[in-house]
Structure 1
């Protein structure tokens, strides 16, 4: 790359979910490939200091959040002759023209009840303008690309797919564990469909197996009924947020991993589970068949009976478990952060 590429690194001031994971891992790969030809700019409220150090972050500005992105970041860029800006985390400075932007999905349109009114209002206003003012757009699946094209009437040639992948730390780590458990990993909001998974789990005949739930909880937006269901069942263990080391151990030692989501632009957790040798049972909705191919057992996420039947199918069939492990290891080979980073570099080079 002849010119320096600048990366909007506001994601370092946010808790890590799928979007932030995508941004962090791609940034690491871009740094390894481009060296000093890529620079990362962030506000001063960074919460992932070790990653900021790794990326040699430039801190700039007085604001945080959207204000930093819309005011401070463009000021910095104009002081540096308005270079190409890569945005990886859904939002971008609206009125800065020399940019490529990434929109992971349109969940705020499809599942508006999942988001608070401030978030929805900003996204509904900002996203169309960001996409229109971007030179090029990235997204994370064929499914999301089609939705963005149709919703915002954008030419297909302006959008390229850059897949997620998984960090190399996700590999099997067996520990001494006498407890059989099913694992679910996601935030507790409506579109993730944990309520249907819990309903299915409650119908399973084997009362000695546990259900471990991992993910952030915002009690202002999580369903009260869902939280009540979790609280009253001693076989459901709510782990909350865990670090990557514990997450790897949980994936590696689960009897199976269940992903009941109603909507995903991509969906990283099934791949993480597969990398750790965990059999995956997955929703057949949205992008998930694209990501998981034939390496999982699928169910209809709107059908609790189907979820329960597929969980029991895997729970009591060791031969099927081993087949899913083998197919899972093959499936994850399709995805690579380095491959995705090189695709971004190639496309940006072609825009000049």
Structure 2
């Protein structure tokens, strides 16, 4: 029996939750020895039903993960635990954990001091105990291994992908707009993106649509004020998948200005919907997008604006990037990632093998 930590089904769906959900759904099709457990308070009922999730324990959130889940595991003989979201029971040894990136180290200003302190405390303890670690790119593997002094052979790369409902539309709407999808964490670089948009000339009808939750814990306090300077900038909030897909399908181009990403699912979703992508040249983004995007320096507002202007002016370039984007998306598959994970689970040595090095604090 392998127990899957499905706490992510009690959370709003962002990139981390979508990654865990889709790999779990694909893994379910490959194996019959999986038991999915979660706290009460499921939000994603469709996936919970498909995974046949068992709701256990009395607590929610981190308390459930650190108290109820380990107790359930002990009562069931300490089976292998797989956690595909960013949080895990800290002291449980027989587990495969997931860590997408170390943004809290590289861009600490994006997070509260409590969040940073929690991760900087928990991760060294967790990484000293887990039997293997999952991440989503070569970039993140190098970052995590280098910072925590973790042997690279213990880290398995499982790429994200795009679900089948993300596909091109038959026709394009007449209203031109640029689209950005993310939370407004400081490292997402929305401030410079908005400045670049505001500097464009000769585009009076062009809008900028921003999709994502403006969580007060992470949000740039001046971002809304900056955006209010121009009614063409529209904050759409959190959207359901059907609404999000419609935004991708209708966009003139998708803008991904992030300073740091472990992978970055939104530009792949945009490409799957036939939307050309403008992207930052930072972190893992060129690894994921290769030659299928028009890149810019995310610290250079003028260069970002020039890339926007070029894509708006050149229809042939937009069509070229649409074709490149669709080909790029085809490289990724949730099933393939789940298959690699399943093989790694079967190859794990018996519990109790001594580790050669411990992560630093």
TM-score (norm 1): 0.97
Tell me: higher relative CO, structure 1 or 2? Use CA pairs within 8 A at least 6 residues apart. Answer: 2
Change (3 A) 1:184 1:67: same
Off by >4 Å, runs of 4+ in structure 1? none
What is the root-mean-square deviation in Å for CA atoms of aligned residues? 1.1
2:278 matches 1:281: yes
What secondary structure does 2:330 align onto?
A: helix
For residues 118 and 325 of structure 1, the distance between their equivalents in structure 2, rounded to whole angstroms, comes to: 42
Q: Where does the alignment leave 5 or more consecutive residues of structure 1 unmatched? A: none
Equivalent positions of 1:170-209 (< 5 A) are 170-174=166-170, 177-205=173-201, 206-209=203-206
2:31 matches 1:39: no
For residues 53 and 344 of structure 2, the distance between their equivalents in structure 1, rounded to whole angstroms, comes to: 24
Aligned to 1:156: 152
For residues 221 and 74 of structure 1, the distance between their equivalents in structure 2, rounded to whole angstroms, comes to: 30
2:164 matches 1:146: no
Structure 1, residues 242-300: CA drift from partner, whole Å, max 9, x if none? 11101111111111001000000000001000000000000000000000000000000
- 1:221, CA displacement in angstroms? 3.6
Contact (CA 8 Å) 2:111, 2:217: kept in 1 or not?
Answer: no
Q: Where does the alignment leave 5 or more consecutive residues of structure 2 unmatched? A: 350-361
2:32 matches 1:22: no
For residues 185 and 157 of structure 1, the distance between their equivalents in structure 2, rounded to whole angstroms, comes to: 33
Equivalent positions of 1:76-91 (< 5 A) are 76-91=72-87
For residues 219 and 115 of structure 1, the distance between their equivalents in structure 2, rounded to whole angstroms, comes to: 10
2:128 to 126, 132, 137: 132
Larger helix share, 1 or 2: 1
Aligned to 1:334: 331
2:240 to 243, 266, 269: 243
Structure 1, residues 209-246: CA drift from partner, whole Å, max 9, x if none? 00011011123542232110112210101101111101
Aligned to 1:301: 298
Q: How many residues align?
A: 348
TM-score (norm 2): 0.94
What secondary structure does 1:321 align onto?
A: helix
Aligned to 1:263: 260
Contact (CA 8 Å) 1:175, 1:249: kept in 2 or not?
Answer: no
- 1:82, CA displacement in angstroms? 1.0
- 1:170, CA displacement in angstroms? 0.4
For residues 2 and 223 of structure 2, the distance between their equivalents in structure 1, rounded to whole angstroms, comes to: 45
Larger deviation, residues 175-184 vs 66-75: 175-184
Aligned to 1:7: 4
Aligned to 1:64: 60
